Structure 1
Amino acid sequence: MILAVTAGAPPASAADSSDVTFTNGGVTLHGTVVAPPGGTKLPGLVMVHGSGAHSREDYRDQAEVFAREGIATLIYDKRTEGYSQFSRSYSTLADDALAAVEALRKRPEVDPSRVGVWGLSEGGWVAPLAASRSADVAFVVTLGANGVEPSRQQAWAIENQLRRLGMDGSMVRMASSTMMRQLVGSGVFPEAHYDPVPVLKSLRRPVLGLWGAKDVLTPPGEAVRIFRESVAHPTLRVFPDAQHQLRRTTDGYDKLPGYAPGYLELVGTWVHALPAGPSADAAPAQDRPSTAVAPLAWYEPPWLQLAVLLFLLVAFAFYPLFRRGPAAASARWLSATGLLAVAGFLAFDVLIQVTMGRNLGPVLAGRPLPWLALQLLSLGAVTATIGTAVAWWRHRTPRLAVSLAGGVVFVPWAVYWGLLNI
């Protein structure tokens, strides 16, 4: 990120920087301490990353502002070992942050009794966890932190994005609920059920929680209420025209130049004063509440979904490959529409997860064109299933029986994934 020229942005000479290394669990992490020149007995701040791959440079602009505010800040490259989209441990990330705290406390310009942690987004789960494990952490600052489980937050964010793009109905429910429940149930959504509330309730040090009122990734109203009810010594502030990272915004999605006015200076003032008494802004309004991701029912396990998928592909491909027996136009139609619907849904599912609904083309009646095409193919497959049932009743051949079995199984499968729903 590049810090825009705004009030509070320091000149390039306002901070000194020096590189450091520290180790956790056999992994060596590299960072930089950014501090005001010639400072002594400075408060220290370790910046903990949001989700995804991040280097120290992603946070240097803010660290330089904090240096102007008289804070020595450690920024570091996020670990890549043991961290990916499908594998991560908040416990390990918290220990990384604690190793960074220990490295900063040893700096000659830093007051070791006044070192805290700052966490953005995913760091809003990690930073409080780190603080709960060590008395060496003097305070906690969070940006866009969640009071709910990661899976619940992600489902809320996905629905926001799809509705913003004009989508509604069964496709939105599929992507934000059914698909999310399958990802969680199959174990490919790491830390899906991490509950931040017990950690927040355990903290006995000052906590500064900051949110943008137009946050579309974290449910900000719920987060403010949960922090207010859970944290013993909270200072909670909401910035009206800011997004998830406290960048200026018009709608929560665009990023205007600069951060929310007063954010960076507030952190500096608060870190130096560390007020003990509670203080909280009103919780911002949310268009709708987040919803917990329900566990899978007995008929929904991922292995069964995979088995059904494979069966449908085989059953629909069987008719054109196995040519013995009488032909039926309805069975040929079922084979074509069924294969296209199933294979197309698989491609669409991947596309949704990769693009979050972007670049899917025009939206008609709340449906992007690819989804509308899949629904039309599914209706065609249901119609062809009825015709194939009539043909099988007349001829009773294995060729037609396999196709019919595929059509019968396809109907509840398509209902489950929203292909036959409004």
Structure 2
Amino acid sequence: MTEAVAFARQGLTVLVYDKRSAGYSLFQRSYADLAEDALGAVAVLRRQPGVDPAKVGIWGFSEGGWVAPVAAAKSRDVSFLILVGANGLQPLRQQVWAVASGLRKAGVAGSLVDLTVPKLYRVIADGGMFPEPYFDPAPVVGQVWQPVLGVWGVHDLLTPPRESPPLLAAALDAGGNRHYTFRFFPGADHAAHLTPDAGLTRLPDLAPGYAELVGSWVADVTSGRPPTSQVSGPAPVQPADTTPVPPPAWWESAGAQLAALALFLVAFGGYPVTALVRRLRRRRPGAAPMRAARVVSAGGLVTIVGAFAFLVHQVMTGGKLATPGPVVADRPLVWLALQALAAVTAVATVVTAARWRRSILERSNPVGEKIRLGLLVAGGVVFVPWALSWGLLLP
């Protein structure tokens, strides 16, 4: 670990441990448990020969910026706190901003960034698949009594670097703790490593002066000379503000989305399946196959499956600055194709609905065929507002 070596060269003893795997995954974790792990590491370090147990602190990076204050607030064994790329916002709000920032950096704009990404994470959180989504760091930070060193790279694309530090400072001030130093490093990314392209690429080198700051700051605070409310460095670059990410309304909930998907699979998938079954059984066909109905069935299925696959990909890569692929007209090429297909499906639904209405009045058409076509129309009717709500029918 680059940081551990750099800090050791400053005369510090550094303990590095692996993050737990049991109970920790993309969809499951507990900051309280992670904080207990950190305190366990503190206990181990305090027992090492040559280590002054009264001068042991915690360094927390990124997610550790939520975890480390929990540990520090719970223990008198922690004498100082160092936060790198720490976030003063709720995890869900930060993640939405990070994914949107990555997409914007890739040249993406419009409904995918402004509507689809926030909705995606709200649904994921509602389904219990996003850990600690509404964790509020302010009350915990307000209980931190130890001196705090906060470090941010000017080009942080994963934590909003302009909004987070003032929130953390306000929480510390509210708790009566004014022994903090906040420093912004130019040319640095989320981890305070150098970046040649404004945060997209992380170099192995630490920002000049970062390790030296940690060494001198720790020496001061452990010698009884804690700083008082110092904020310095160039202004961070944050092209867009974060926005609140409230829980979804009932019609946007994970349950409602699953119900809609079930309807689509039955309605869109059932249309060709019943035709295939009739052919295999060599039954007399009903009404002549409709091209528009086939478009609704195929277009709806491909749009749903494609959108699901694309959005899952964004979830899996969202913490890595999003990789949308080729961008055309401010939209990923894949998403643009899905939008075009969704529009075709919506138009075909209108045509099919008109044909179905006429078929009801025609006594010659079998009842089963009318029901089959009616189910397809029902799926298409629900598909239109669903596609609108996910930005598939918006620019």
Could you tell me the TM-score, scaled by structure 2's length?
Answer: 0.88
Query: Which of the numbers 401, 404, 418 marks the counterpart of 2:374?
Result: 401
Decide whether the 8 Å contact of 1:391 with 1:400 is kept in 2: no
Decide whether the 8 Å contact of 2:103 with 2:323 is kept in 1: no
The answer to whether 1:379 aligns with 2:343 is: yes
The residue type equivalent to 2:378 in the other structure is A
The residue type equivalent to 2:180 in the other structure is P
**Could you tell me which residue of structure 2 aligns to residue 40 of structure 1?**
none
The answer to whether 1:337 aligns with 2:288 is: no
Paired residue secondary structure (1:299): helix
Per-residue deviation at 1:126?
Answer: 0.9
CA distance in 2, matches of 1:74, 1:359: 34
The residue type equivalent to 2:200 in the other structure is Y
**Could you tell me which residue of structure 1 aligns to residue 278 of structure 2?**
none
Query: Which of the numbers 85, 88, 99 marks the counterpart of 1:144?
Result: 85
The residue type equivalent to 2:381 in the other structure is V
Distance 1:78 1:358, change over 3 A: closer
Paired residue secondary structure (2:335): helix
CA distance in 2, matches of 1:199, 1:407: 48
CA distance in 2, matches of 1:158, 1:174: 12
The answer to whether 1:170 aligns with 2:131 is: no
Paired residue secondary structure (1:407): helix
Per-residue deviation at 1:352?
Answer: 2.1
CA distance in 2, matches of 1:84, 1:156: 21
Query: Which of the numbers 209, 215, 218 marks the counterpart of 1:262?
Result: 209
Q: How does 1:214-293 map to 2 (within 5 A)?
A: 214-231=155-172, 232=177, 233-250=179-196, 251-274=198-221, 275-281=226-232, 284-293=236-245
The answer to whether 1:303 aligns with 2:276 is: no
**Could you tell me which residue of structure 2 aligns to residue 87 of structure 1?**
28
Paired residue secondary structure (1:293): coil
**Could you tell me which residue of structure 1 aligns to residue 314 of structure 2?**
352
Task: Deviation per CA, 1:92-145: give whole Å up to 9, x if none.
Answer: 111111111111111220111111100000111111110000011100011000
**Could you tell me which residue of structure 2 aligns to residue 52 of structure 1?**
none
CA distance in 2, matches of 1:335, 1:78: 46
Query: Which of the numbers 125, 129, 134 marks the counterpart of 2:75?
Result: 134
Decide whether the 8 Å contact of 1:325 with 1:399 is kept in 2: no
Paired residue secondary structure (1:246): coil
Cα RMSD (Å) = 1.6
Per-residue deviation at 1:361?
Answer: 3.8
The residue type equivalent to 1:368 in the other structure is P
> More strand by proportion, 1 or 2?
1
Paired residue secondary structure (1:220): coil
Per-residue deviation at 1:358?
Answer: 5.5
Aligned length: 363
CA distance in 2, matches of 1:106, 1:276: 28
CA distance in 1, matches of 2:8, 2:328: 51
CA distance in 2, matches of 1:102, 1:83: 22
The residue type equivalent to 2:385 in the other structure is P
Per-residue deviation at 1:408?
Answer: 0.7
Query: Which of the numbers 64, 69, 73 marks the counterpart of 2:14?
Result: 73
CA distance in 1, matches of 2:32, 2:24: 12
Task: Deviation per CA, 1:373-409: give whole Å up to 9, x if none.
Answer: 1111111111111111111121122122111111111
CA distance in 2, matches of 1:394, 1:209: 69
Per-residue deviation at 1:197?
Answer: 0.6
Distance 1:358 1:202, change over 3 A: closer
**Could you tell me which residue of structure 1 aligns to residue 364 of structure 2?**
none
Could you tell me which runs of 5 or more consecutive residues in structure 2 were left unpaired when the two chains were aligned: 276-284, 361-369
4+ residue runs of structure 1 moved beyond 6 angstroms? none
Task: Deviation per CA, 1:229-280: give whole Å up to 9, x if none.
Answer: 2221211111121101110113111123411110001101010101242211
The answer to whether 1:325 aligns with 2:286 is: yes
**Could you tell me which residue of structure 2 aligns to residue 410 of structure 1?**
383
Paired residue secondary structure (1:286): coil
Paired residue secondary structure (2:271): helix
CA distance in 2, matches of 1:318, 1:66: 63
Larger relative contact order (CA 8 Å, sep ≥ 6): 2
CA distance in 1, matches of 2:375, 2:5: 68
The residue type equivalent to 2:251 in the other structure is Y
The residue type equivalent to 1:326 in the other structure is A
Distance 1:361 1:102, change over 3 A: closer
Decide whether the 8 Å contact of 1:215 with 1:243 is kept in 2: yes
Report sequence identity in percent. 48
Decide whether the 8 Å contact of 2:153 with 2:186 is kept in 1: yes
Decide whether the 8 Å contact of 1:312 with 1:410 is kept in 2: yes
Query: Which of the numbers 106, 126, 135 marks the counterpart of 1:194?
Result: 135
CA distance in 1, matches of 2:116, 2:390: 9
Task: Deviation per CA, 1:51-99: give whole Å up to 9, x if none.
Answer: xxxxxxxx3x322222222211111122111111111111011111111
CA distance in 2, matches of 1:263, 1:329: 65
The residue type equivalent to 1:197 in the other structure is A
The residue type equivalent to 1:316 in the other structure is F
